[in-house]
Amino acid sequence: MSNVTSSFEEISKIEQAALQKVSQAQSTKELYDFKVEFLGKNGSFSGLMKFMKDLSPEDKPKFGQRVNEAKNRLEEAFTAQNQKLAQKEISERLAQEKIDVTLPGVTRSKGSPHPITMVIDEIVQILSRVGYSVRLGPLIEKDFYNFEALNVPEDHPARDMQDTFYIDKTHVLRTQTSPIQIRTMQAEKPPLRVVGPGSVFRCDSDISHAPQFHQIEGLCIDKKVSMSELKATLTYFTREFFGNTDIKTRLRPSFFPFTEPSAEFDSQCPFCSGKGCRMCKQSGWIELGGCGLVHPNVLRAAGLNPDEWQGFAFGFGIERMAIIKYGVEDIRLFAQNDIRFLEQFL
Ligand code: DAH
């Protein structure tokens, strides 16, 4: 058998094998692999070139032509089969991706600030409109700032009143935001109007007390301040906070070591407008916080001359404000991070 006959037979063999594989391909991927197997750089057709060297000069072009014809037929078969398979694959994918436009949409949950953060932001907003700006202080506080400078000397019963977490002999987890008053007076020149929000800590836990809660402190220092100015500020604040311009407020005499005179600040109950309800225990009033004129000892401890400067201060519990504003019954809910509770404040 001449070289040319056997090489032609080889071409036919490969062509037959290739056409059969192409017609049996199950996917475009499989088809592509076959294409590489036969027509690729190292594929079967490239392998045929080894016959070339043994062919006579007049057989070489015949052989080349025959290879090209086979390749062309194969290319055509590939293209046709590829079209068929691609169409099949697209319709299968589309069947899977079919969308039922009558199905209800998937709701996406959206984050929002914690209710305590919302209340702090709102209080800061309201007071910033009458000239107050925010100051912060450390949570681990020196005994000096938390007690001493606030006119609460060692062995003073007020230290027991606030069940204190001690870090060491001279450091506590701050039991109140009042130390922010001292730090601000030390660091800045009066006149001052500042609010200090933040976490405070007391060794206490039940339905109305949590070991960690939040307060906001207010401090105004000027040449001359008065109880009536204090009351006007707190009344403005209360009316803005509860969104009720008719709400009445009152001061009741009280005691705090760092203010003289001291008072509790009450608002008419925003739930019943003073008629008496469960929220205000039928009294028509709810207590919002403490306040008073800054004690001369406190001014002195912070480096101010009480003959030159006067001040008023106030402090609210944030959880308490949130409870009143949103009608929440249990203070512990604010710290439990139960999404069903938090979602209600969106
Ligand atoms: N620090 C007080 C407390 O924790 C609240 C308070 C009362 C703050 C009177 C004040 C104030 O600034 O003047 O209970």
Neighbours of 346 (CB within 10 A): 9
Q: Is 125 found in the same domain as 73?
A: no
Give a yes or no: residue 108 inside a domain: no
Q: Which of 96, 127, 142 lies at the terminal end of a domain, its last residue?
A: 96
Q: Is 247 found in the same domain as 170?
A: yes
Give, for ligand 1, the residue of 256, 318, 321 to mutate: max count of ligand atoms closer than 8 Å to Cβ: 256
pLDDT in tens, 44-74: 888 888 877 888 888 888 888 888 898 899 9
For ligand 1, say whether the CB of 256 is within 6 Å of any of its atoms. yes
The number of angstroms, rounded, from the C-alpha of 192 to the middle of its chain's C-alpha atoms is 33
Q: What's the total number of domains in the chain?
A: 2
pLDDT in tens, 109-161: 778 899 999 999 999 999 999 999 999 999 999 999 999 999 998 888 767 65
- Kindly tell me if the per-residue pLDDT of 178 is higher than 60: yes
For ligand 1, say whether the CB of 151 is within 6 Å of any of its atoms. no
Integer CA distances (angstroms), 167 to 8, 98, 140, 323, in order = 96, 63, 8, 30
**In this structure, what CATH number is given to the domain that contains residue 139?**
3.30.930.10
Q: Is 242 found in the same domain as 168?
A: yes
Residue 297: closest CA among 210, 206, 212, 182? 182
- Kindly tell me if the per-residue pLDDT of 36 is higher than 80: yes
Q: Is 124 found in the same domain as 249?
A: yes
Give a yes or no: residue 314 inside a domain: yes
Q: What is the DSSP letter of 202?
A: -
Give a yes or no: residue 124 inside a domain: yes
pLDDT confidence of residue 242? 93
For ligand 1, say whether the CB of 146 is within 6 Å of any of its atoms. no
pTM above 0.75, yes or no: no
